Structure 1
Amino acid sequence: MRNKYIENFEKAQTVEKNIPDFRAGDTVNLAVTIKEGDKTRVQAYEGVCIAKRGQGTGQTITVRKIGANGVGIERIFPIYSDSINEIKVVRRGRVRRAKLNYLRNLAGKAARIKELRSK
């Protein structure tokens, strides 16, 4: 059971951010602010959401993409972080699990996720 004061504070923090509804298996595109020295830039990070965890302002997602030379890259993003400007859902995946850790052992066509057909 969480403290009601903490819940009210977190609710006020999460209201201003527009987070789309997505789950594990969906391909997401994140606009991440990167600070290099005194300059800042926005970099796109697109990959498959393999896990979602936490609640409130502590909620995080793990996004996996395939980088150069077929190397898998995973990053954990706090959803309500100031460094995330925007989250877009590129495509919805049809999966039967909440955590897709098995994708780490798959490569190439075996690592594909079927697309969820909209009704």
Structure 2
Amino acid sequence: MKTFNKLALLVTVALLTFACSSQMKLINSSVVPAATGSVKVKQDKNKNYGIEVEVRNLAQPDQLTPSRSHYVVWMDAQNVSAKKLGLMRISSKGLKGSLSTVSAQEPKKIFITAEKDEDVRYPSSFVVFSTDK
């Protein structure tokens, strides 16, 4: 009976863990054809959403055509369009970038734009990644 209880508890914890988190694939644009990325979203005990964005093989923004200065991560949520989540810095080694943040709203879509200025309030049309949702 003890073994059954432990197994039931383990299955319940696993289901809760997977039910509260999701992974979305970032679809790259023709601007950055070799780049890949993903987004992980996990709801915490306070009903906030932890958002982890990771990209690989992404060129420095100044190497794009036309040249840009920054990558900015945005999200769309229910009743909220284009909320700025933050800047993504790309390492010169390995061309990897990441952003970790928390949101009170559940993201419906995550997208990354290349921008001339880091203080932008609205995304440009220069989208380099977007989730498929």
Normalising by structure 2, report the TM-score.
0.24
The structure that is strand-richer by fraction is 2
Higher-Rg structure is 2
Higher RCO structure (Cα 8 Å, ≥6 apart): 1
TM-score (norm 1): 0.25
